[in-house]
């Protein structure tokens, strides 16, 4: 296996009156992943949507559903989201009392398991669960809202995590970054070692297909130039 490089457009910034149509535009533009932000009004202040939305988009798209659970005790939702059609289920380390058990539960349900870390959360929380993790999500803003500014100190965190993973033998484990990624910040995170790039406002503001293909081009250039 080699490390995956992907754009994962976040539907949080989509026009929900045209959700199916906008997802199809992205799929036709060649975006392989779709980032789906679930918020419960408790772990983060806003409420977004849940498995009902995933279930209704699933039949119109073959994209890989990359579900980001910004919810307290996400273990409660594992089975429902697997049934709804989620492919990757990413939980926040800060939101799980029993992270190791939750990761096992996600795998038993047939989904891939991701772990997300808020900006202030140290990388050490990953130390004893790495063998159960399919992707690490580094939040590059504080979660809860689209359209925020990239936090510059996260560049060193991405670099530290990449080094840590490489040294521990996890060269292929992808780092996803989420928050404030656009044409001006994408090269910084790619150079630091991220390979799955979430973008919400940078994709959905303006020409969706063009925005997505411009960002995918930058990701592909990094992929072929070698990490």
Q: Are the beta carbons of 90 and 103 closer than 8 angstroms?
A: no
Contact of residue 202 among ligand DX5, Zn ion, none (CB under 5-8 Å per partner type): ligand DX5
Nearer to ligand DX5, 9 or 193 (CB): 9
Among this protein's residues, is 178 annotated catalytic? yes
Is residue 72 within the footprint of ligand DX5 (CB under 6 A)?
no
* Residues 75, 138: Cα–Cα separation, whole Å: 20
- Residue whose C-alpha is closest to residue 155's, from 135, 133, 181, 132: 181
Contact of residue 9 among ligand DX5, Zn ion, none (CB under 5-8 Å per partner type): none
**Planar angle of CA 182, 187, 192, nearest 5 degrees:** 120
| Range in contact with ligand DX5 (rule: CB under 6 A) among 26-34, 140-148, 152-160, 219-227 | 140-148
For the CB of residue 225, give the shortest distance to Zn ion in the complex, in Å. Answer: 27
Tokens of 6: 């992907």
Among this protein's residues, is 214 annotated catalytic? no
Any idea what DSSP says for residue 128?
A: T
Task: Tally Cβ neighbours within 10 Å of residue 155.
Answer: 20
Please give the positions annotated as active site.
Answer: 37, 178
Binding site for ligand DX5 (CB under 6 A): 10, 12-13, 35, 37, 68, 141, 143-148, 178-181, 198-202
Binding site for Zn ion (CB under 5 A): 37, 68, 178
């Amino acid at each position: 296996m080699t490390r995956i490089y992907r754009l994962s457009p976040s539907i949080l910034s989509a026009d929900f009156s045209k959700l199916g149509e906008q997802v199809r535009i992205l799929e036709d533009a060649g975006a392989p992943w779709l980032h789906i932000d679930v918020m419960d009004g408790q772990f983060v202040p806003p409420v977004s949507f849940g498995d009902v939305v995933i279930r209704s988009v699933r039949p119109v798209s073959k994209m890989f559903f990359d579900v980001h659970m910004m919810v307290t005790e996400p273990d409660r939702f594992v089975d429902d989201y697997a049934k709804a059609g989620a492919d990757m289920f990413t939980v926040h380390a800060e939101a799980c009392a029993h992270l190791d058990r939750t990761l096992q539960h996600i795998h038993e349900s047939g989904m891939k398991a991701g772990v997300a870390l808020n900006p202030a959360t140290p990388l050490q929380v990953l130390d004893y669960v790495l063998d159960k993790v399919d992707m690490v999500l580094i939040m590059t803003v504080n979660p809860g809202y689209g359209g925020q500014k990239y936090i510059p100190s996260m560049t060193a965190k991405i670099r530290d995590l990449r080094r840590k993973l490489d040294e521990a033998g996890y060269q292929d484990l992808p780092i996803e970054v989420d928050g404030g990624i656009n044409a001006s910040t994408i090269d910084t995170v790619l150079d630091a070692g991220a390979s799955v790039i979430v973008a919400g406002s940078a994709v959905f503001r303006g020409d969706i297909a063009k925005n997505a293909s411009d960002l995918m081009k930058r990701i592909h250039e990094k992929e072929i130039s070698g990490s």
